[in-house]
Structure 1
């Protein structure tokens, strides 16, 4: 037990709150959960010793409301606040407010958060300690004109990055000078929305870049050690997807060198607690790591470090926060085996990775691997928070063992009710480059077209039909039309731009699609489970290939949507930008409006050329399918 604490409040939600509670339980420390109205019955609420409501679903009025969180901690009798990651975890003002209220903030000192939270100040601080940084232009108060001029000096391609944040939000690669002004405008908007600060800087884009980060641990008595590195190069649009420890790139000497650089980075700001120092490393020169940023908190991917070191990082955070000196030394750190983590997101890779949602009809996690999850059967996954709902983490004696274990674990995961990226992850892990460890931060984006293609197997259509017509004879169609006889019952399902026509017979099922006809024996359907969703129009098929939503009947065709003059929101969220004025003429593909949900911004573009009629304004909350604008043909084309 941590002697100083007998009750700790977790200022977070979802899988990280559940994970922190697990350590508190083991240490005999009571846990206090906080929750918004959207999370009243969430797993982290049920897992905690006690729970306190802090506001409505809007994170700005609940999880991001520092005063409400501190009030809950005081009311519950907590001595400390663990911020998890995201939300208030890297908010120096919140750390100070906790101290002023007599609460221990389980994190680094506020000055360290402030310095490392400002990427421009962070670069200066680490450079003073002899740590190399990526060539670029980084100083306070840079205007767009300064950045344009600096980018020309640095040389293209460049990365535009927000000074106040991380996680890939607001970061853009720019290959041509003509594209930089638009990228700067979007980056400033995203940075202001995510971090309340639109300051930007520009760095050279490193060739064949690999994202390697080092876990550091420091106490308040001056001791600083590292716990090895993690490879985080598998990213989509700068958002990590798969992480592993150790990196397959580094040899022991390079590992020791990057570890020393990370420790010097922590010393540069008087760091105390658990932190992560991120480096960009060229695959061509792994002995020359460049400092990118320091995350002054626990990382999402901390689990892989825990598995290879056997060290509970949350426990270490608590002990450092309680004032204890480190009981660990650098010489005592050993890496055993290999660990790989896959992030499970509520998103649809086949539809541009748009965030999804819905109520989980069932939740089944694989055995023999670590799963950090924030959902359970019956959980409603909405648009209010980050779309990551779980992490599946495998450990093995070798990298190959860990990869095989993770693949098996993903295939055993069941999450019907919400479309996820699990099949995408499986295809990613099968790539020859991934199997070989030949990674870089652009690999996923280059392979997205192939990885996101997700045609529905004939067996899934067949299973749905058998679920609806188990006997194969005398069936009533959903529209009331009875089809029976030797041919069997006929049903229709959405299949991309068209339909799958499925005939259920006594021993088999015939699936007819554009250009193909397949006969599926009923015996091949035994391992597929089918459940009906609440909307009555969707069936969920679960099997070795994951979970898939199949619609019946096909009410909307993608082809019709593609040619429609209407722009509809692809997801529930809010309008964060309108790029044109009502009545403006637009060309095909022009940006009209941007919708944000689950920390993701989606730009809606004109589906045809014409005149825009706006139906939404900035700040408006919208639901999926809501009309935001209509593009009318030009006046001369509308005349009879």
Structure 2
């Protein structure tokens, strides 16, 4: 948005909360105004704070962005009262279409097909339970306000409904300031297709084709493309005209999107889901295939200008695909992650576009949505666009925070995705394969080891013959191979006496995994063994401040590296690996702990799986709990996660609602029953 404003010669004013003080948009804008503290209700969700920022800066217009107040009629009303232009639709359109309940009733009355369900204002939990029984399971519980899949829950049976309602209301209230819910039949294996609209104040409404958004996880879009591989020209015209009819029915103005569920078996059958009365996150794919800047047209329409083209002038050229890069850990059920961006590489080149919030040194917190950037590719054909996007992701490196980039590449490689066999459940089916535990690729630990090994001098290595340990610059220590004779291993002049002496490195690669790398010789001409495997020729071919080329078994691998205390990050081909070098003292302590633990049951200490806020506690200290029972719920980045008991026993809590917790923070312990081990 700021780039478009700059190109049009319009000054930009960024608004930010305390959490976003150092955000990229704040630095890019011509000026910036603080809204308030991190809590959204006191900053981004505060209409008064936003209007005060407009008055303070002398702004003529407010662009509401993608989320928070972007579909809130109260902001539009406040803008009207203050004489500030709201870059969006009119108040009536926002009121009708911004509320999913009113929107479904409105379009149904206009003859547009909708999914069976119950959408009435003021539904209590008891009303929803009764409605679900009438609609039939499975059902989809969703907030009436907002979008982005936040708070949406699929419920397969009546027993699951109470917990789902409580969770959806919490998320909706926190994200949108409104916990009103609706319920509808959950349609298995549909395709999610949405139509982009533009409408001016002179009565012209055009559609800009459709986007396929079926690749989603937890109702959150992950990969989007335009156009859809499913629709033919005739169906595209029909669904586009239906979307225009929806817009005309509310006198819509500006950019908007009408979302449909479309049958994969019969693409001519589609159901209205909702209308997003704002610019969509995935709008770049439409821009790339139409050649139109949607932000520019939002601004021109808001200024009263007419559209300069008609429906017949819209042409879709080529194919575009977008992948959303998230701060999340696919190996831990996609839980949000935090960290500091130590090193950043973002792709450029023909047909590649990146919309990004990232910059080196940026702190990634847990206050807001975990999306970091969007990598988009355009090409003449769908196959070429997918290949170009995969190559762009391979050139994307974010070190210092775990991301989903490697997962995105595995999704793009799926035969179903390549063939265009999509539905809203496909990504969930791909996840087990894409995130399955695999043997550690030796490139990352070997690269990190050689990187550190190059810091050792000949004297360091000679010293290891007497102490068994050579100190590294950060204080950690590789170990001398105890099975080798105590002799001089090597010297820089090549002189050697006795057998060579490998240096041992213990590299922690995950919560419960580590590899042992033994290095014989200097980093530029070494022999390595990984976990006792066959010896491999290895060399640090090139070593720069944050990059290297590592040759392993005859293959040269370019890598990026960054260190953060005891942690070394290695990036290669779109993957980022977080490694920690374990000292000899840590290794001995871990071995002793394993001996003490033996075959005892699961760890009784319950830790937070992600940084966030405790939003509810389901038990009290002293309660008896069973394995799998929910103890509490932690929310981060608009997503909730249930923390369950690892085993049976008596629970002792260490947190309360509203407490903020860090990753691996101890939230509870489970002790044995008092009668355990006593006769009946």
Q: What is the rounded CA distance, in whole Å, between the counterparts of 1:586 and 1:520 in structure 2?
A: 54
User: 1:188 is matched with which residue: 165, 169, 181?
Assistant: 169
TM-score computed with the length of structure 2 as normaliser:
0.87
The answer to whether the Cα contact below 8 Å between 2:397 and 2:574 also exists between their aligned partners in 1 is no
Please show how residues 281-360 of structure 1 align to structure 2 within 5 Å: 281-360=262-341
In structure 2, relative to structure 1, the CA distance for the partners of 1:145 and 1:35 (3 Å cut) is closer
Which residue matches 1:463?
447
User: 1:112 is matched with which residue: 93, 114, 117?
Assistant: 93
In structure 2, relative to structure 1, the CA distance for the partners of 1:399 and 1:562 (3 Å cut) is farther
Moved more, 383-392 or 560-569: 560-569
Which residue matches 1:527?
557
The answer to whether the Cα contact below 8 Å between 1:131 and 1:264 also exists between their aligned partners in 2 is no
| 1:537-580, Cα deviation, whole Å (9 max, x unpaired) | 21011112422211222869899999222222222211111112
Which residue matches 2:573?
544
Rg (Cα) greater in structure: 2
Report how far residue 297 of structure 1 moved: 0.4
Tell me if 1:425 matches 2:414. no
Moved more, 176-185 or 161-170: 176-185
Q: What is the rounded CA distance, in whole Å, between the counterparts of 1:180 and 1:110 in structure 2?
A: 34
User: 2:381 is matched with which residue: 398, 401, 420?
Assistant: 398
Which residue matches 2:228?
247
Which residue matches 2:471?
476
Tell me if 1:567 matches 2:567. no
Report how far residue 479 of structure 1 moved: 4.2
User: 1:594 is matched with which residue: 633, 637, 656?
Assistant: 633
Report how far residue 42 of structure 1 moved: 2.5
The answer to whether the Cα contact below 8 Å between 1:462 and 1:520 also exists between their aligned partners in 2 is no
Which residue matches 1:446?
429
Report how far residue 509 of structure 1 moved: 4.5
Which residue matches 1:371?
354
* Number of equivalences: 619
Tell me if 1:434 matches 2:464. no
TM-score computed with the length of structure 1 as normaliser:
0.92
| 1:345-382, Cα deviation, whole Å (9 max, x unpaired) | 01110111111121111211112210001111111111
Report how far residue 480 of structure 1 moved: 5.0
Moved more, 469-478 or 387-396: 469-478
The answer to whether the Cα contact below 8 Å between 2:345 and 2:398 also exists between their aligned partners in 1 is yes
The answer to whether the Cα contact below 8 Å between 2:317 and 2:380 also exists between their aligned partners in 1 is yes
Q: What is the rounded CA distance, in whole Å, between the counterparts of 2:234 and 2:516 in structure 1?
A: 61
| 1:489-508, Cα deviation, whole Å (9 max, x unpaired) | 21101144232011112334
Moved more, 148-157 or 286-295: 148-157
Which residue matches 2:615?
576
Tell me if 1:499 matches 2:517. no
Helix, strand or coil: the match of 2:372?
A: strand
The answer to whether the Cα contact below 8 Å between 2:370 and 2:637 also exists between their aligned partners in 1 is yes
In structure 2, relative to structure 1, the CA distance for the partners of 1:95 and 1:518 (3 Å cut) is farther
Cα-Cα RMSD: 2.3
Helix, strand or coil: the match of 1:335?
A: coil
